[in-house]
Structure 1
Amino acid sequence: MGSYKLSGAAASDIAGIFRFGIRKFGLGMADKYLDELEALFKELPDRPELAGDASVFAHNLKYYRYKAHVLFYIMEEPGRIFIIRVLGKRMDFIRHL
């Protein structure tokens, strides 16, 4: 299983996702969604074929769509990713990256 590191912005994104999830869906569903995101964060480093190319935004940037969100990250080294942002799929990516 791979490892990951969050940028400060990504950590803030996740906190916001969690708060929104609690308000909209309740604590149980918000916890479940965060658990799913964390599992994905650990899976992506070992499955680079799942990622899309987002280098149009930044050099070596990758993306992965998950439910209502899009993860943007770079491979730091084999088996390790650095997550830049976790944005809502309807957000203006250029503005927030």
Structure 2
Amino acid sequence: MSFKLSAEAEEDIIAIAEQGVRVFGAGQAKRYHDELFALFDLIAVNPCIARERDEIDPPVRIHPFKAHLVVYRIEDDETIFVQPCC
């Protein structure tokens, strides 16, 4: 299964990277970014790794990642990353 990022997710990832560089340095920010995208790949292969949160409208799945939460949904055999958030 493939994945794609929403515009909001792309903006958040850029903001996370920029803050990471400012606070932790370029090397650590790159490692965090690489690990985040490794998680995206893992979720794309195993999209049901997180349970669906149907109490949220529209329903989404939420997977923790270090200091953030990765919010996604499954749509037409594709994983859509809505937003990594704090």
> Fold conserved (TM > 0.5)?
yes
Does the aligned pair in 2 maintain the 1:21–1:27 contact within 8 Å? yes
Compute the RMSD of aligned alpha carbons.
1.4
TM-score by length of 1: 0.80
Say yes or no: does 1:74 pair with 2:73: yes
Partner of 1:3: 2
Higher RCO (CA 8 Å, separation ≥ 6 residues): 2
Give the percent of matched residue pairs that are identical in Structure 1 and Structure 2: 33
Does the aligned pair in 2 maintain the 1:52–1:62 contact within 8 Å? yes
**Which ranges of 4 or more aligned residues in structure 1 deviate by more than 4 Å?**
none
Q: Tell me the SS of whatever aligns to 1:58.
A: coil
- Give 1:49 deviation, angstroms: 4.0
Q: Which ranges of structure 1 fall in alignment gaps of 5 or more residues?
A: 89-97
Q: Which ranges of structure 2 fall in alignment gaps of 5 or more residues?
A: none
TM-score by length of 2: 0.89
Provide the aligned length of Structure 1 versus Structure 2: 86
Partner of 1:13: 12
